[in-house]
Structures are given as C-alpha cells and as structure tokens.
Amino acid sequence: MLIKHEFEVHASAKYLFDLTQDYTLRAAWDTLTSEAYLINATQAAVGAQARGMGGNGLSMDIEYVSYKPSEVAAVKMISGPYIFDQFAGGWHFKALSDELTRVRFSYNITARPRWLSWILTPILCLKFKLETEKRIVALTAYAERQFVAVPVAVR
C-alpha cells in the first residue's frame, strides 16, 4: 500500500537533502528514529546500508537503491520487524527557490503474515502515516530553525 506526503520547507533542497541523509543528525529531528547509522559505508550512496532503531526498540536495515544528491534518496528494507513483509521508501526534493523546497515522502508497505496482509497492511499503513506526519512537523521545524543559521555561502 502506497503512502504519500508532500509538503514545503523554507530551506534549500541541498540543505534538506544533506540533513535527511546525515546519520549523525538523524535522531535530532526524526521522531521515528532514536538511533541511526550506516552499516557498510561512510556516506549514503546506492548500495549503502543503514540501520535505524525506533524508540520502541524495533530496528530496520535498509539499502539505498537510488541516490541523487539534492533530489532523491530511495531505499528498500533488507531486514526489519516481523510485521513488515515489504518496505520501500523514497524522499524527493524539488527546489522551488534557493530557500524553498517541496518535499515528497513516499512509502510502499506490505504487512505480514501474507494471509492476513489484507487487514494488517491498512492498519500498519495508518500507524505509519500518522507517525510520518509527526516526522514531517519535526523535520520542518528543525530544518527551518537550522537553515536560517547556515551562512549564505554554505547554503
């Protein structure tokens, strides 16, 4: 089941992309993540793997399947909580100006066990949708607060 969120942030696409892919800063803004780090790489890129752990103690390992700086980062789950049969996500950044970006989060989720997926997937997606809305508010607030502090030459 596909979940999409689209929103605007008063920050540059480059700044937002870099912020969202910086695992040393992820826990500072990401309400879904208490800890995150790259597993097999020093920076995000196609093929890089990362682990994210939630405040609930569950963790998910993902692998980047697309990575285009300032524009798109897409991942797929390689291991995660039992309830997830499949998980994939993409974050798209479109610069509307030097200081305004349209961001689209898209997630494709299927629940397990497969024979109950027809009822569990919508429930899991609703929960993830609500958590993602909190994540968007937190990302927007953090990014806009930090972006104004970034020197113009660095933006």
pTM exceeds 0.85, yes or no: yes
pLDDT level of residue 151 (50, 70, 90 thresholds): low
Report yes or no on 155 lying in a domain: no
Neighbours of 43 (CB within 10 A): 10
Contact 9, 103 (CB under 8 A): yes
Residue 153 lies in a domain: no
Is 139 inside a domain boundary?
yes
Give the closest residue to 126 by CA, choosing from 1, 8, 7.
1
Q: Is residue 70 part of a domain?
A: yes
122 in any annotated domain: yes
- 104 token code pair: 């689209």
Domain residue limits at 46 = 2-147
Structure confidence by residue, pLDDT tens digits, 40-83 = 999 999 999 999 999 888 999 999 999 999 999 999 999 999 99
**CB neighbours of 30 closer than 8 A, spacing ≥ 6?**
36, 135, 138, 139
In a domain, 113, yes or no: yes
Is position 22 within any domain?
Answer: yes
- Tell whether the model's pLDDT for residue 149 goes beyond 60: no
Give the count of alpha carbons within 13 A of 6, CB side only.
2
Residue 111 tokens read as 């629940």
| pLDDT above 90 for 155 | no
88-136 pLDDT, tens digit each: 999 999 999 999 999 999 999 999 999 999 999 999 999 999 999 999 9
Backbone φ and ψ for 68, nearest 5 degrees, come out as -130, 100
- Say which CATH number the domain at 85 has: 3.30.530.20
Report yes or no on 154 lying in a domain: no
Tokens of 90: 């993409």
Q: How many domains does the chain have?
A: 1
